[in-house]
Amino acid sequence: MKGIKDFKIGTRLIVILSIITIISLSSIILIVQIRITNLADLDAQTIGNAIASNFSNSAAAAEESSSMSEELSGQADKLLEMISFFKTDDRTVKTAAPTEISGVTIKKRNRD
C-alpha cells in the first residue's frame, strides 16, 4: 500500500514539475521573441532612415545636376551660334552680326 501511495505522490510531483517547466520555458521563449521583434523594429527604422537620407541626397544631387545641365546647354547653344558665325565654305569666312559670349564681343569682319 505504501509503495502505491509513494508512486501516486511521485507521479503527481513529476506532472507538477513538468507543468512548471513548460510554463517557464514558454515565458522565456515569449520574452526572447519580444526582444527580437523590438530589435528588428529598430533595425527597420534605422534602415528606413538611411534610405530616406540617401533619397534626399540623391534628390539634391539631381537638382544640382539639372541646373548645371541647363547652364551647360545654354553655353553649348552660344558656342554653336559662335561656330555658325565662323563657318567656312570655299575658304571664305562668313560672319553675322556681332554677338557676345561670356562677356567677349565678337566683332563682324568681312573678308572678301
pTM, rounded to two decimals: 0.41
Task: Show the domain range for 14.
Answer: 2-78
Q: Read off the pLDDT of each residue in 56-83 and give the average, rounded to a whole number.
A: 78
Position 109 in a domain: no
Distance in angstroms (rounded) separating the CA atoms of residues 54 and 38: 24
Position 56 in a domain: yes
CA dist list (Å): 7 to 1, 2, 72, 87: 10, 9, 95, 114
Summary mean pLDDT of the chain = 77
Residue 29's pLDDT band, with cuts at 50, 70 and 90, is very high
Position 96 in a domain: no
Position 99 in a domain: no
What's the domain count of the chain?
1
